[in-house]
Amino acid sequence: MPLTDLPLDQLRDYRPVLAEPEDFDAFWTGTLSTARAASDGPARYEPVQSSLLNTVDVCDVRFPGWGGQPVAAWLLLPRGAEGPLPAVVNYLGYGGGRGLYTEGLLFSAAGYAHLIVDSRGQGHDTPDPDPAVGTQYVRGFMTRGIDDHRAHYYRRLMTDCVRAVDALKEHPAVDPERVVVHGGSQGGGLALSTAGLLGDGVAAALVDVPFLCHFRRGAQTAAEGPYPEIAHYLGAHKRADPEAAFRTLSYFDGVHFAARATAPALFSVGLMDPICPPSTVFAAFNAYANDDKDIRVWEFGDHAGGRGSQAQEQLRWLGERGLGASRSLNGSRAHSLNAR
C-alpha cells in the first residue's frame, strides 16, 4: 500500500481541535451507572474441557454488560501459576467475535489471566437486542443509531467493555491493580475508550492501529474498512446532516477518551494503513493525557501494524512498568476456575 496520509513529522504534531459535547462526561457517567445498577449478579465462569492439557485452564464466561444483558467471553488462565495474576482484557476487531479459545493464547502463555471479550451483534455468542432509534442506512455498525447518540450501537458496546473490566477484577485469580486493556483496530478504539472511562481503574492500555478516532478525518480519507460507511451514508442520503451525524459520533470518539486517560499507554500505527489512516491514530495518541505513552511506528505496516513484532514490544513494555507476569509454578492448581 502507498503512503496516503501526512508525512511522519507532521503526524507527530497533528492535534486537531474537535468539538466535544458539553455533556460528554455526564452522558458516560450516567450510562455506566445505569449499566452497573442493571446487573443481575456477578460474572459466571464455566470450566471448559480443553485440548490444551497442562498449559491453560479455559472458562466460558458470561458477564453483565449494557442493560445487564449477558456478554460472552473466554477466560484463559495459565495452569499452575500462583495468583493473583496480572490480567489482559482483550477487545476485538470490527465484524468479529470471540471465536475459538485456541485463537488467542499469547497472553496466557506469557503468564497473564486473559479475558477475550465478544463484541455484541458482531460475534455469534452475544446478540444485540436493543434496536437503534431511526433507520440504519448502511450495512455495518457505524450508522446504527446515527440519529441519536443515546441509541447508537457504540454506546452499548463501549459499556460492555467497561463492564468486562469490572467483572474480571472480581475473579480471585486476578490482581485488580494490574488489569491491562488491549486491542487492535476496533479493539484498539475500545481499549482507548475503556482507559478513558475508567482512568486509574486500569493499569495500562495497549492500543494498536485504533479505529473509532477522529471520525470526520476517517470518513474523509480512509479507502477501506468501516469509516467509508459514514461517507456512504452522508453521500447517498441528501437529507442527511453531516454536522448532526458527527455530533452523534463525537460521544464515541477516541480523541475525547484519550484526553481523559491516565494509565500508561503503548500505541502502534502502520503508515500504509488504508483502514485507520495514521492521522486518526496520531490525533488520539497526541491527545492522550498521560505522559507515560509511546507509539511504535511501522513505516511499511498496513492495518496489521507490526504483527508479531508489536506483541513482543508489548510484553517488554509491560515488564518495564512492573506489569509483567511472573509465572511461579508449584505443581498444583494455584487458583480456582469457579469464581465467586
Catalytic residues: 185, 273, 303
Residue with grid cell 492501529, as numbered in its chain: 209
Instruction: Please enumerate in sequence order all residues whose Cβ is within 8 A of that of 203, keeping only pairs 6 or more positions apart, or say none.
Output: 86, 177, 178, 179, 180, 263, 264, 323
HSE-CB for 123 with a 13 A CA cutoff: 19
Distance from the first to the final alpha carbon of the chain: 50
- Going edge to edge, which strands form the sheet with 44-48? 44-48, 56-64, 70-78, 113-117, 85-91, 174-184, 204-208, 265-270, 293-298
Specify the 3-state DSSP secondary structure of 132.
coil
Non-local (6+) Cβ contacts of 204 within 8 A are 180, 181, 263, 264, 265, 266, 318, 321, 323
Q: Which residues contact 113 (CB under 8 A, 6 or more apart)?
A: 75, 76, 77, 78, 83, 85, 86, 87, 88, 168, 171, 173, 174
Separation between Cα atoms, residue 118 and residue 41, nearest integer Å: 19
CA distance 31 to 14: 31
The four Cα atoms 179, 289, 215, 4 give a dihedral, to 10 degrees, of: -100
Q: Which residues contact 41 (CB under 8 A, 6 or more apart)?
A: 64
Classify 175 as helix, strand or coil. Answer: strand
Q: Is residue 54 a contact partner of residue 79, using CB atoms and an 8 Å limit?
A: yes
Name the E strands within 185-292: 204-208, 265-270
Q: How many whole angstroms separate alpha carbon 89 and alpha carbon 103?
A: 15
